[in-house]
Structure 1
Amino acid sequence: MIRRSIDKVKEIMQWGKLLLPLSSLRFYPPKFVLRNPVLEGVVTAFQTGHEVAVIVFNLQNVAELAEQLGENQHRHLQRQIKKAFREVVLEELDEQDIISLHDYYGDGLTLVVQVDHDCHYISEMDRIMKNLTNPVEKRLHKLYQSIQLQFETGYMFVDKKHYSIQESIEKAQRQAIAMAEKRLAAKYDSMFYTINNIISQKNIKLLAQPIIDVATNEIRAWEMLTRGPKGTALESPLPLFSVARQTGTLYELEMIVLEKALEQIKAAKCRDDVFINFTPITLGNIRFTRDVKNLLQRVRTILPTQIIIEVTENDSIEGLKDFIYNIKMLRLMGFRIAIDDTGAGYSNLSTISEIMPDIIKIDRSLISNIDKNSLKESMLKGLLLVAREAGSLVVAEGIESEEEASVLTRNKVDLAQGNFYAPPTVLMRDMAT
């Protein structure tokens, strides 16, 4: 029954995707890299509640290829690289998410795309980069069978809080290039040093956003949200977690989040349920359950039954051999499991049937302006059906208006969170029930 429900939701969501307006891909030569069209696209993305990512693709062995091919053949290769990327980008990405694809210099290309606001979509960057570079490399290999092409990739999110959006775009591009060209030791090592300094000093801050019972308007739980050092480029969770991921320190960062969350729950004497986010990569780490047990021993007043492990990101859990085992162990310890971002895509719908979560969190992309969009409400009803079949509670995220909240009430959604109810704040004593 749950499989039929999931298939029905997939069908509804596919039609929803087809009904969305399409915009044409903009491919700019170098002199137009940061002119108005890109700037306007970034501003529009911010105004519609998205974040913007700058992804850099750089041909790794460019010097050797130039010597091997000669000048004319090398120029032909450059043209073929641009053509292949343009074709693959149009095939792999939704056109409305593409802001620009352009040269930044030589053999390098920069893709600017809008992405969901949530920090958990950092894994989406890895998926995008893999889904673009692999087919491009295969197409070019057919043309140049005697050479081996390989691209270095890196990405960074545009800081929307910067006083100048254009300067923020430029900065994000420089950082993305540094990530791609790890040979540029000074820039890359600077980021590596910064994130390691944050981890060694545990220099993060946690905010808590209440999760509300839709029927009674009472607080039922809290979600812990991470912020980096105040006033720095890594204060926002998007760059913080993306740099951690690209520098191989994501597991350490997420374990510090858990440690800080447990300390804050204890200090506030919170008795409500608390959601703590983890990526599938961290949850699939063979050390995870052992490290969780060690942290719980330090705060014996907190029971696992109070904590909800929230599985973030909408990518596949395939290939993470210890993921399902760890989920089973966490359940045996008393933790409950939630799946985040449901409705943002349908890869996580198969995850629902795989782990049968206790709680399903519906992404704000589905909730935004749901009062004005009957198709979104139909999708919500489909996901509620899936949740009932799975025996899961439902949390709707990102509620910004009374009108959106009224749709949740009408459809008997269990729980909700968003700025309409309360913004994130520091969890303090007497706040929690």
Structure 2
Amino acid sequence: MTDFPTSLTGGCAGCKNAPELNFDFSFAYQPIVDLRDQSIFAHEALVRGVNGEGAQSVLERINDQNRYRFDQLCRTRAISTAAQLGMREHLSINFLPNAVYRPELCIRSTLEAARAHNFPLDRLIFETVESEQLDNNLHLTHILREYREFGFKTAIDDFGAGYAGLTLLADFQPDLIKLDMALVRDVHRDRVRQAIVRGVVTMCTELGVTVVAEGIEHAEERDFLADCGIYLMQGYWFAKPAFKALAQVPPGAWQNA
């Protein structure tokens, strides 16, 4: 999809009243791989300090006054940097649901950035962090439905770790859910985690939702999850986030344990 809506006008209170940020930030990009053809499906944009400092050095500066501006800049900057790096795969961007007032208006700067950099809308994935406590779950599902209408893919991050869980999945079925790494860690050794993962995969298969396993650090985790039917994966086993760059997956990451 390369068409861009042109009918969005006006703005909301958040657009007009949000103060400028008094700090700067950048991004690192980590690949999400597809085991089926040993390719890169997407790159997730992960916020970093301007010199590559960890995400917490940036996120600890977010408050109720600058949350909206930060969320908007994250989207537009992730797109512009990805375009400069020549990204051809999907781009996954985390967003803060509590920073979105009216999705049909708050998305305008994202659409403008995509248009300016000729980045197709159907290659954009918006991840909501399930572990962020939400003021209104209905508001989140409204955002996700609006984003789907624009042609974006949607994802629930950290599935199984946060506040929304199965209730959110019952209200809205995203394109992707990302299993929380706490479920992935040492899953090949843990019978309980294995049962939970298999249950999630069965449920999502029936709902038409693709499961992504994140936090893969060992070949044994990769292989067990692949046997469960999960083919999209992310984690240090494949590549660490690359600061202002697109990480490459080494050939050994695909080899049998």
- TM-score of the superposed pair, with normalisation by structure 2: 0.80
Deviations 1:4-47 (A, max 9, x none): xxxxxxxxxxxxxxxxxxxxxxxxxxxxxxxxxxxxxxxxxxxx
Matched, 1:338 2:163: no
Distance (Å, rounded) in 1 between the aligned partners of 2:137 and 2:241: 32
Displacement after TM superposition at 1:375 (Å): 0.5
Residue of structure 1 equivalent to 2:6? none
Question: Is 1:213–1:416's contact at 8 Å kept on the other side of the alignment?
Answer: yes
Residue 404 in 1 paired to residue 221 in 2? yes
Q: State the distance in 1 between where 2:80 and 2:33 align.
A: 23
1:368 touches 1:399 (CA, 8 Å); kept in 2? yes
Match of 2:13 in 1: none
1:297 aligns with 2:118: no
SS for the counterpart of 2:82 is helix
Shift of 1:236: 2.5
Are positions 1:347 and 2:161 aligned together? no
Aligned to 1:209: 30
The yes-or-no answer on 1:196 pairing with 2:21 is: yes
Q: CA deviation at 1:337?
A: 0.4
Checking the alignment, whether the CA contact within 8 Å between 1:289 and 1:329 is kept in structure 2 is no
- More RCO (CA 8 Å, sep 6+): 2
Which residue number corresponds to residue 307 of structure 1?
124
Post-superposition offset of 1:428:
4.4
Whichever residue aligns with residue 216 of structure 1, its letter is D
Question: Structure 1 residues 211, 429: closer, same or farther in 2, change over 3 A?
Answer: closer
What is the rounded CA distance, in whole Å, between the counterparts of 1:323 and 1:313 in structure 2?
10
In 1, the alpha carbon distance for the partners of 2:48 and 2:132 equals 23
Write out per-residue CA displacement over residues 62-103 of structure 1, whole angstroms, 9 at most, x where no aligned residue.
xxxxxxxxxxxxxxxxxxxxxxxxxxxxxxxxxxxxxxxxxx
Correspondence 1:288 to 2:119: no
Residue identity in the other structure for 1:204 = F
Shift of 1:259: 1.3
Distance in 2 of aligned mates of 1:429 and 1:241:
22
For the Cα contact (< 8 Å) 1:208–1:225, is it kept in 2?
Answer: yes
1:224 aligned partner: 45
Residue number among 239, 242, 250 corresponding to 1:422 in the alignment: 239
Q: What's 1:276 paired with?
A: 93
Deviation at 1:431, TM superposition (A): 6.1
Q: State the superposition RMSD in angstroms.
A: 2.6
Tell me the equivalent position of 1:242.
60
1:387 counterpart = 2:224:
no
By how many angstroms is 1:316 displaced?
Answer: 5.4
In the alignment, the residues of structure 1 paired with residue 73 and residue 145 of structure 2 have an alpha-carbon distance, to the nearest angstrom, of 22
Greater fraction helix = 1
What is the count of residue pairs matched by the alignment? 230
- C-alpha distance in structure 2 between counterparts of 1:196 and 1:345, whole Å: 28
Report the Cα offset of residue 296 of structure 1. 2.7
Q: Which runs of 5 or more residues in structure 2 are unaligned?
A: 1-18, 250-257
Contact 1:357 1:390 in 2 (8 A): no
**Amino acid of the residue matched to residue 398 of structure 1?**
G
In 1, the alpha carbon distance for the partners of 2:178 and 2:149 equals 22
Does the aligned pair in 1 maintain the 2:98–2:135 contact within 8 Å?
no
- Deviation per CA, 1:375-430: give whole Å up to 9, x if none: 00111011112211221111100001111111112212120000001111146489
- Tell me by how many angstroms 1:333 deviates: 1.4
Q: What is the identity percentage for the equivalent residue pairs of Structure 1 and Structure 2?
A: 26
Distance 1:315 1:260 in 2: 22
Is 1:325 the counterpart of 2:142? The answer is yes
Residue 354 (structure 1) shift: 1.4
Q: How far apart are the structure 2 equivalents of 1:390 and 1:329?
A: 20
Structure 1 segments unaligned to the other structure (5+ residues):
1-192
- Counterpart of 2:93 in structure 1: which amino acid? I
TM-score by length of 1: 0.49
